[in-house]
């Protein structure tokens, strides 16, 4: 089973939006997808509750007694993590993933927070005790702004302590389409092309 964790200790960076859209993408590819909402806020769970039944199916992987209840036939698990993860909680949730995607907003506060978070994640690598691939996404970017250019430059140059590059996946622009999709339980891939 492929496991993708959407991770950032800062709230409001778009973890749930990214998690739901990635889950929808894989479901549209015919994969059996489970979405784990590990955040007490329950944004991904709420999104699943309003998801129309005619769209590609996504199961809810529920957290019971600190254990995820995942269907045996699940091929892709998307985990929407809560804000404020540090130390032991960060180690535990990261151990469960093969890939961690970190959304970063284009603001100096978010860029510095991401820098501190990545340093913490790297410092915990021996406790995580497995090879988790990490990638970043620039989220809610207004094109042609100075802070967007700074964020892209920062993410493109981001390196691990061993000198390896942290992949910078893409730039997601600030768009009402994400809000419209979230409101209706859809993904941006399921909206009308217009």
Helix (H, G, I), strand (E, B) or coil at 77: strand
- Half-sphere exposure of 60 toward its Cβ, with a 13 Å CA cutoff? 16
**What is the arithmetic mean of pLDDT over 57-74?**
86
Q: Indicate the pLDDT class of residue 48, thresholds 50, 70 and 90.
A: very high
pLDDT at 43 > cutoff 70: yes
pLDDT at position 161: 61
pLDDT at 66 > cutoff 80: no
pLDDT at 167 > cutoff 80: no
Q: Indicate the pLDDT class of residue 129, thresholds 50, 70 and 90.
A: low
Collect all residues with Cβ–Cβ distance below 8 Å to 66 and sequence separation of at least 6: none
Of the listed ranges 33-37, 60-64, 130-134, the one predicted with least confidence:
130-134
Angle at 133 between CA 127 and CA 61, to 5 degrees: 85
Q: Indicate the pLDDT class of residue 114, thresholds 50, 70 and 90.
A: confident
CB-CB contact of 174 with 160 (8 Å): no
What is the rounded CA–CA span in Å between residue 122 and residue 120?
A: 5
| Residue 68: Cβ-neighbour burial (10 angstroms; 0-12, 13-18, 19+) | middle
* pTM of this structure: 0.86
Q: How confident is the model over 81-91, as pLDDT tens digits?
A: 888 877 778 87
Which among 1, 13, 171 has a CA at the least distance from the CA of 104? 13
Which among 48, 54, 59 has a CA at the least distance from the CA of 20? 48
């Amino acid at each position: 089973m492929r496991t993708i964790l959407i991770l950032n200790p800062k709230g409001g960076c778009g973890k749930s939006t990214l998690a739901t859209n990635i889950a929808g993408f894989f479901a549209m590819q015919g994969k059996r997808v489970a979405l784990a909402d590990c955040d007490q806020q329950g944004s991904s769970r709420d999104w699943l509750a309003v998801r129309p039944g005619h769209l590609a199916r996504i199961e809810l992987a529920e957290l019971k007694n600190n254990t995820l209840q995942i269907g045996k036939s699940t091929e892709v698990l998307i985990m929407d993590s809560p804000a404020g993860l540090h130390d032991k909680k960060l180690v535990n949730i990261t151990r469960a993933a093969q890939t961690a995607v970190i959304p970063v907003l284009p603001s100096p506060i978010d860029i510095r927070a991401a820098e501190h978070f990545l340093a913490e994640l790297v410092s915990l690598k021996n406790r995580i005790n497995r090879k988790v691939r990490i990638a970043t996404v620039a989220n809610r970017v207004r094109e042609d702004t100075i802070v967007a250019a700074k964020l892209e430059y920062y993410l493109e140059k981001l390196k691990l302590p061993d000198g390896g590059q942290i992949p910078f996946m893409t730039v997601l622009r600030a768009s009402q389409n994400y809000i419209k999709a979230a409101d209706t339980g859809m993904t941006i891939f399921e909206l009308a092309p217009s």
